[in-house]
Amino acid sequence: MKDIFELKEMTELIRTVTNMYAHGWDERNGGNVSVLLDEADLKEHLVLAGAIREIPTGFEAPELDGKYFLVTGTGKYFKNVQYDPASNLGIVRLKDRGRTAELLWGFSDGGKFTSEFPAHMMSHVARLRVDPENRVVMHCHPANLLAMTYVHDLDEKAFTRTLWQMCTECIVVFPDGVNVLPWMLCGTNEIGEATAEKIKTARLVVWSQHGIYGAGKDLDETFGLIETAEKAAEIYMKIAHLPLKNTITDEQMHLLEDRFGVKAREGYLN
């Protein structure tokens, strides 16, 4: 049997969360990531029979029964993952209509998955219905996107258009735009349900005064979505107080659609 640390998603997650911390997106124990694993790949690295222990999830997601997830732990600091992945990460299998998670590896110090686990799983269900290749959900606290929710209209069309106008690549990277939630109490099923509804129509969902959720086919794509939106928000925060003399026009964005074979969200461009 191959070493668990040779599992592609394991090495990529360790590298990604280390990079997220270095970017300043995940202060202290802020942020969480979950990755849907392929059973055929996983069984080459881990004995799948039995479980170390069972952890109640506090929600139902029957569509995820029998699915395996690599997930960050609650109260864990991303800066420590690279040094002790076995206590900071875990691999779980869902059962009982998603109400129970069987721990198969990790959380060696007795911990468990992130408090945002219900929100992650609800978002996985929503994105898998849209695109079966979406296997990653990522939550973090990028400073400029967070700051933008204090000073910008939270209307999703207006928020998206502002980000698109900040960087030429934005409409190419996230043509589906950005959805926005008002402030809600984190770690609850309510915010999980609201996020899952929003993530059906956009792979990025901003939590006002809190952070952002992203979904994608792999860790690189999901990280890149957030990274691009955060760069655009940084530019906006640098120029928002200044008179605007130039911008990327709708006509120019239509040229980008044609050049890169993407389609902007319906009704968002003139």
Q: Cite the active site residues.
A: 116
Q: Which amino acid is at 183?
A: W
Distances 235 to 29, 162, 231, 240, 242 between C-alpha atoms, Å: 27, 10, 6, 8, 12
Report the alpha-carbon distance of residue 172 to residue 243 in Å, rounded: 26
Cβ-based burial of 156 (10 A; exposed 0-12, middle 13-18, buried ≥19)? buried
Report the alpha-carbon distance of residue 127 to residue 121 in Å, rounded: 10
Q: Are strands 211-216 and 89-95 parallel, antiparallel or unpaired?
A: unpaired
Q: Which amino acid is at 32?
A: N
**Percent helix, strand and coil across the chain, each rounded to 5?**
40, 20, 40
Strand partners, 34: 71, 137
Question: Chain centroid to CA 267: how far?
Answer: 25
**Cα angle at 164 between 125 and 193, to 5 degrees?**
25
Cβ-contact 85, 5 below 8 angstroms: yes
Report the alpha-carbon distance of residue 166 to residue 247 in Å, rounded: 8
